[in-house]
Amino acid sequence: MTEFQHDAESGLMDVNGMPLGDLARLDDALLDKTLERLLPACGGIGDRLWNNNAGA
Amino acid sequence: MAPSPDVHSLTSADLSALAAGEFPPEIIRRLRAAELSKHALLIEALRRAARGQARDDAVEAIEAACGILSEVQARAPELAAEVLTLPHVGFWAADCLSRLRPGPAGQPGSARPPSSLDLAHLASFAAAAALRAAYPFELRVPVRGGVVTLPTVGTACIDGGGMPGWARIRLDRLGATVMSGSGMVDLPVGHGRGSRTAVPGWVPLSRLRAETDGIALSVILETSDPFLTRLAPPVAEYPRVSSEDWQQRINAAWRILVRDHRPTADGLAAALTTLVPLREPATGRPVSATSGWAWGAIALSLPPDAPALAETLVHEFQHLVLSAVEDLVPLADSGDDRLHYAPWRDDPRPAPALLQGTYAQLGVTGFWRRQRQVGSPEHRLRSEVEFARGRRHVFEGVRTLTDSSALTAAGRVFIAEMSARLADWQGEPVPVRAETMAAEMGAEHRLRWQLAHLRPDAEEP
């Protein structure tokens, strides 16, 4: 059985169980890499809107 | 520096199950956990970005809110997780962060930067969590339009002339209060007091609950959150939203889903937390929407009958599932800018959007396929036509995606399972009248689309 994920650098880190306060210890570069994939610089929240008024 | 945490992932078996329209609670639970991670990371990224770019009052509000949320996480982890997984959190954080981050090539973004009150909305989540956990605290929270919004709790009408500003919210041994200038509202929450108690200036949260055969759906009817209500405006407004109308329609739709579409009902029960009621459109055709940033929320106008509401929930649930999957695993190349025909849309679509639409169509087609057998006789022709149209749509979408070379390895696993499900349906007989109507509608749409988008001297989009 194949396991799929984004690569280790840009994948969605599992931070469940970590208090929000502890996330300050995360490496800047690692967080940036994740965000670059999740939220590209040119995109806003409209990028992932599925609106069936337009047919979805 | 902390070691790198593990990364959320899905197996090929997980992808196949979801593509086949099975939504095992264990997989939905993992998708939900991944959304919680996403929200926590967005909050942390926003905290770092605000330190460099926002005013001191916003930075202080974010730091204070993170501190309270961390305390609630320690004392009531499940409650904190419930609040942090809310679609309100993801939509707010992604909106603010996208407006703080630079545009392409490091240029300033074109969007208006978030205000201090926008950024401080995190304090509203922290206050709501602390109130529900009965954890003593004091925070500054934003006031907009004269109200303080406390997600999952209610809204306090503080007035203040309707101008945006700040209020102070506190929970101590004497109770909970919100204060701003000369205005003060005692909150009927915390210390065992019910949040629905009628007190001046307090509007409790509106919640819908339906239960059939022991399977319950419990959702917030959200009309006041300043961010989530932008999901697909215009939002219906209090008191024009009749929660009784919604409750009756939800009861009937939920009965249909639990009795005849159980896998989807199980998935919805685990994933759906929030409905954002939209105003009825002038066209009379119901509208609905979801966002990959607002996992667990569906915005929709009130459909005309229970089957239509059930269909809308199925359609939008498919989008929610695929959005969460794509947060973990890329299924289509987002950098592939080729555009394709989608039989249910008037505009050409890139591969990732075509996959989203095809998956939604697959869910809806499965819904009408079953409704042909169990729906009322007066709805039988409608079910047959919708099934016949839907399988044509899915066939076209699957074929286009398969031929596009835009799919990743995981995307190919996903589409193969969708294709296998469709193959089972292709041979099922449909009355000639329904098949003819479906074929005519399909041909008419394609012709209109070609007239709008194809040029004799241009490459096909």
The pLDDT of residue B163: 79
Instruction: Note whether B243 and B99 are same-domain residues.
Output: no
Instruction: Note whether B304 and B350 are same-domain residues.
Output: no
**Complex ipTM:** 0.89
From chain B, pick out residues whose CB is under 8 angstroms from the CB of A33: none
Number of domains in chain B: 3
From chain A, pick out residues whose CB is under 8 angstroms from the CB of B13: 1
Point out the residue among A14, A18, A43 whose CB comes nearest to the CB of B8.
Answer: A14
Is B381 a domain residue?
Answer: yes
With an 8 Å Cβ cutoff, the interface of chain A facing chain B consists of 1-6, 8, 11-16, 18-28, 30-31, 34-35, 38-39, 41-45, 47-56
B109 CB neighbour count, 10 Å cutoff: 16
As given in the structure block, the two tokens for residue B164 are 């945006």
Final residue belonging to a domain, choices B204, B232, B252 = B204
Closest-CA distance of chain A to residue B306, Å: 18
Instruction: Note whether B162 and B181 are same-domain residues.
Output: yes
What does each of the 461 residues of chain B score in pLDDT, given as a tens digit?
A: 555 778 999 999 999 999 999 999 999 999 999 999 999 999 999 999 999 888 999 999 999 999 999 999 999 999 999 999 999 999 999 999 988 876 655 555 567 889 999 999 999 999 999 999 999 999 999 999 899 999 999 999 987 667 789 999 999 999 999 999 878 999 987 544 555 557 889 999 999 999 999 999 999 999 999 999 988 877 776 545 678 889 999 999 999 999 999 999 999 999 999 999 998 877 778 899 999 999 999 999 999 899 999 999 999 999 999 999 999 998 998 888 899 999 999 999 999 999 999 999 999 999 999 999 987 777 888 999 999 999 999 999 999 999 999 999 999 999 999 999 999 999 999 999 999 999 999 999 999 999 999 877 655 55
Point out the residue among A11, A12, A41 whose CB comes nearest to the CB of B101.
Answer: A41
Q: Check: CB of residue B323 under 8 Å from CB of residue A48.
A: yes
Distance in angstroms between the alpha carbons of the first and the last residue of chain B? 48
The pLDDT of residue B191: 47
From chain B, pick out residues whose CB is under 8 angstroms from the CB of A8: 4, 7
Is B39 a domain residue?
Answer: yes
Is B43 a domain residue?
Answer: yes
Residue B378 CB contacts under 8 Å (≥ 6 apart), including other chains: none
- B-interface mutation test, from A7, A15, A34, most B Cβ less than 10 A away: A15
Q: Check: CB of residue B332 under 8 Å from CB of residue B325.
A: no
- pTM, full prediction: 0.93
Is B258 a domain residue?
Answer: yes
The pLDDT of residue B435: 96
B314 CB neighbour count, 10 Å cutoff: 26
Q: Could you tell me how far CA B411 lies from the centroid of its own chain?
A: 22
The pLDDT of residue B459: 59
Judge: A12–B38 Cβ closer than 8 Å, yes or no.
yes
- B-interface mutation test, from A50, A51, A53, most B Cβ less than 10 A away: A50
Write out the residue range of the structural domain in which residue B348 sits: 331-461
Is B2 a domain residue?
Answer: no
Instruction: Note whether B389 and B427 are same-domain residues.
Output: yes
As given in the structure block, the two tokens for residue B89 are 């959190």
CA count, 13 A, side-chain hemisphere, A3: 6
Binned at pLDDT 50, 70 and 90, residue A2 comes out as: confident
Is B5 a domain residue?
Answer: no
Q: Say whether A56 sits in a helix, a strand or coil.
A: coil
Closest-CA distance of chain B to residue A34, Å: 9
Final residue belonging to a domain, choices B265, B294, B328 = B328
Closest-CA distance of chain A to residue B404, Å: 20
The pLDDT of residue B279: 86
Backbone angles phi, psi at B204, to 5 degrees: -70, 160
Instruction: Note whether B55 and B179 are same-domain residues.
Output: yes
Secondary structure letter of residue B106 according to DSSP: G
pLDDT at A42 over 50: no
Instruction: Note whether B29 and B160 are same-domain residues.
Output: yes
The pLDDT of residue B109: 58
- Chain B's closest residue to A53, CA to CA, is B287
